[in-house]
Amino acid sequence: MGCRIVLLGMPGAGKGTQAEQLAQALGVPHVASGDLFREHLDKGTELGRQARAYMERGDLVPDEVTIGMVAERIARPDCANGFILDGFPRTVAQAEALERLLKGNGTALDVVAFIRVREEVALARLAGRWTCRNCGAVYHTLFNPPRQAGVCDACGGELYQRPDETEEAHRRRLQVYQQQTAPLVDYYRRAGLLVEIDGEQSIEDVQADLRAVVESACGSLTAESAERL
């Protein structure tokens, strides 16, 4: 049982923002490959060292590094009842590896929610994003400002701009998305798993649509998780 969800969408579509809220409602972990890489960078691990240059340019980190890292994360006990994957898979090879991995555990994905936005919307969102250094919460100078500039509402941590938040890296990330990740939309449509959500609505409306999609794929939210809503 449980609910295994993939959030698909271009950089800036709002995957991280939505995943964070949904994870709290469902009581399952939010597994974001970008966040896992950033933890490795902060800790100065060998994996972080390998990933740094790719990330700063806006290129994908090679599949063999990425797949191993995510596989290790979703094998942990807190993912036994489900997870929300954000930013993974991003290539067909990653999607195939994920399918094999889950099959090996006798499980499978329940739904792939594709958060659709236009490129110009994604670019505007990326341009104003600030992230909490402490808890990873995401803000936007115009669309979702913190109560106090530079300070996280949730934990009081310092807000910073990610090193891949340059205009050049944003454009590169969108180009890489079109070339390597967009094919997953058809891949998951053919598998009968894809549901499309209009990502250009308010954060609250996108979340409401996403919860409806998850309920129809995984059954109604549990009493326990419904209480937390």
Binding site for Zn ion (CB under 5 A): 132, 134-135, 137, 152, 154-155, 157
- Least separation, in Å, of the C-beta of 47 and ligand AP5? 12
162 as an active site residue: the answer is yes
Q: 87, 32 in Cβ contact below 8 A?
A: yes
Please confirm whether the linkage preceding 183 is cis (ω < 30° from 0).
no
52 as an active site residue: the answer is no
Which residue's CB is nearer to Zn ion, number 128 or number 157? 157
173 as an active site residue: the answer is yes
Output 76-80 pairs: Cβ under 8 A, ≥24 positions apart. Answer: 78/29, 79/28, 79/29, 79/31, 80/2
3-state secondary structure of 195: strand
Q: Residue 132's binding partner, choosing from Zn ion, ligand AP5, none, with beta-carbon cut-off 5 to 8 A by kind? A: Zn ion
Q: Which residues make up the interface to ligand AP5 (CB under 6 A)? A: 9, 11-17, 33-34, 37, 54-55, 58-61, 66, 87-88, 90, 94, 125-126, 128-129, 138-140, 143-144, 164, 173, 202-203, 206
Q: 183, 101 in Cβ contact below 8 A?
A: no
What residues does 186 pair with on adjacent strands? Answer: none
Which residue's CB is nearer to Zn ion, number 48 or number 157? 157
Active centre residues (catalytic): 15, 90, 129, 162, 173
